[in-house]
Amino acid sequence: MAKYDYLIVGAGLFGAVFAHEVSKKGKKCLVIDKRQHIAGNIYTENIAGINVHKYGAHIFHTSNKEVWNYVNSFVEFNRFTNSPIANHKGRLFNLPFNMNTFYQLWGVKTPEEAKKKIEKQRAEYFDIKEPRNLEEQALVLGGRDIYEKLIKGYTEKQWGRPATQIPAFIIRRLPFRYTFDNNYFNDIYQGIPIGGYTKLIENLLDGVEVRTGENYFDRKYDFDNLAKKIVYTGKIDEFYECQFGELEYRSLYFENELLNMPDFQGNAVVNYTDREVPYTRIIEHKHFEFGTQDKTYITREYPHEFSKDNEPYYPINDQKNQLVLSKYQELARKQTKVVFCGRLAEYKYYDMHQVVAKALELSKKVQNNG
Ligand code: FAD
Ligand code: UDP
């Protein structure tokens, strides 16, 4: 007899929400994670009184009221609104692309003037009807000035390939608006958990059996026999021993510094959009929570090739990888015991709110005990 109803591989956001919800329904769960800690990529660690986002900066944003109320029922969120600054060759611009940016680029002061300027630039690309890649999409959206100063360099560093080889949907993540509004997201709700994301996951996993430092593949046979069902949130190609080839990812290298000064850059996020600066952004973590400490903690984010020695942060959803993925998905559909969920197992550029929504959706299909 299996000891658990569910083995959940991965103590990240997906695993934690699912484990919480089905435990409420009386299911016995075991959550394992190969890392030494819970929370997956949203793990935060308190350093010098500052909640440091150890695997990259995370801002929670959503327009889904159910998801917002759900996360707020585990931890209170602050009123942080992400408004990154772009540094291009030493000149500063507001992001996302809005009236402040257009004023800084061209001196235009009204939406009408800005629209005229952008229409003129877009006209060069009138023959691009269906943008086939990120470069074409960016040129059609905002024209050459914006593309060359704020997008091309950042994008090519971030993805390690020409913008012509990157899917168009990636640039559509960013708002483009004719108001003086520096909010990086269009969503209704936004904020950062007070006390850090780890607290959110701790609260979700309260009362659930969790073992960290356990790699599923080290004892797959034993783990498989422990539970009736498996929710797997690791890499899908790894599950199938990469039999159709490896899926590609983009990784990151984080260079951290604790500085003996109260404020380094005056903002949580500063993007470096030219090619010459080797990192894409500097995160100053205290600004996510309006910190007033004497010290500050910063992280330079360097994009990196993915290998066995670093983390798979971003799926590369180009045609080549989608084709490989579809072969794994065909095998996954035939599995009756295992479901593949979350950013790695679905190989999707999911944000946190989407992961919460997906985990809630899956858990709703689980019957109550008794
Ligand atoms: P993960 O957090 O990756 O959890 C999967 C877990 O499975 C990991 O802990 C891993 O160790 C474990 N695991 C894998 N294989 C095994 C195995 N074999 N055995 C045991 N355990 C295993 N989203 C936002 O909404 N806003 C943001 O601002 C934002 N910023 C981001 C910045 C960066 C740099 C990155 C990379 C992502 C960002 N995201 C953001 C996305 C967000 O991180 C994800 O949506 C979310 O964390 C995914 O949760 P998950 O549970 O699917 O995956
Ligand atoms: N991007 C850009 N310039 C910027 C910020 C983003 O060109 O200053 C592009 C880049 O291609 C990036 C994509 O927009 O990969 C999505 O940006 P987002 O900030 O959503 O990326 P994430 O926070 O997920 O790394």
Asked if residue 86 has its Cβ within 6 Å of ligand 2, the reply is yes
> Which pLDDT does position 369 carry in this prediction?
77
209 CA from centroid of ligand 2 (Å): 37
> Which pLDDT does position 153 carry in this prediction?
98
Q: Give the closest residue (by CA) to ligand 1 atom 8.
A: 40
328, amino acid identity: Y
Query: Which one of 95, 165, 173, 271 would you pick to mutate in the ligand 2 pocket, going by the greatest count of ligand atoms within 8 A of its CB?
Result: 173
Contact 50, 286 (CB under 8 A): yes
Encode the chain (370 residues) as per-residue pLDDT tens digits.
Answer: 899 999 999 999 999 999 999 999 999 999 999 999 999 999 999 999 999 999 999 999 999 999 999 999 999 999 999 999 999 999 999 999 999 999 999 999 999 999 999 999 999 998 999 999 999 999 999 999 999 999 999 999 999 999 999 999 999 999 999 999 999 999 999 999 999 999 999 999 999 999 999 999 999 999 999 999 999 999 999 999 999 999 999 999 999 999 999 999 999 999 999 999 999 999 999 999 999 999 999 999 999 999 989 999 999 999 999 999 999 999 999 999 999 999 999 999 999 999 999 999 999 999 887 5
Question: Over the range 177-205, which residues count as b (16 or more CB within 10 Å of their CB) and which as e?
Answer: eeeebbbbbebebbbbbebbbbbbbbbbb
Q: Give the closest residue (by CA) to ligand 1 atom 21.
A: 33
Ligand nearest to the CA of 254: 1
pTM of the model: 0.97
Asked if residue 275 has its Cβ within 6 Å of ligand 2, the reply is no
Asked if residue 332 has its Cβ within 6 Å of ligand 2, the reply is no
> Which pLDDT does position 370 carry in this prediction?
56
Q: Give the closest residue (by CA) to ligand 2 atom 12.
A: 155
Each domain of the chain, given as residue ranges in start order, spans 4-82+188-248+316-368, 97-170
Q: Give the closest residue (by CA) to ligand 1 atom 47.
A: 41
Q: Cα separation of 256 and 86, whole Å?
A: 20
| Cα distances (Å, whole numbers) of residue 180 to 39, 97, 109, 177, 183 | 36, 10, 10, 8, 9
Side-chain-side CA neighbours of residue 132 (13 Å): 5
Q: Say whether the peptide bond before residue 303 is cis (omega within 30 degrees of 0).
A: no
Instruction: Looking at the chain, list the stretches that DSSP marks H as alpha helix, in order from N- to C-terminal side.
Output: 13-24, 65-72, 99-106, 111-123, 134-146, 152-159, 197-204, 220-226, 236-239, 319-333, 342-345, 352-364
| Residue of 301, 313, 314, 350 with catalytic role | 301
> Which pLDDT does position 1 carry in this prediction?
80
| Residue of 250, 302, 311, 318 with catalytic role | 250
Q: What is the dihedral of CA 191, 193, 197, 201, to 10 degrees?
A: -120
Level-2 CATH architecture, domain 4-82+188-248+316-368 = 3-Layer(aba) Sandwich (3.40)
Q: Give the closest residue (by CA) to ligand 2 atom 7.
A: 151
281 is catalytic: yes
145 is catalytic: no
> Which pLDDT does position 368 carry in this prediction?
82
Asked if residue 271 has its Cβ within 6 Å of ligand 2, the reply is yes
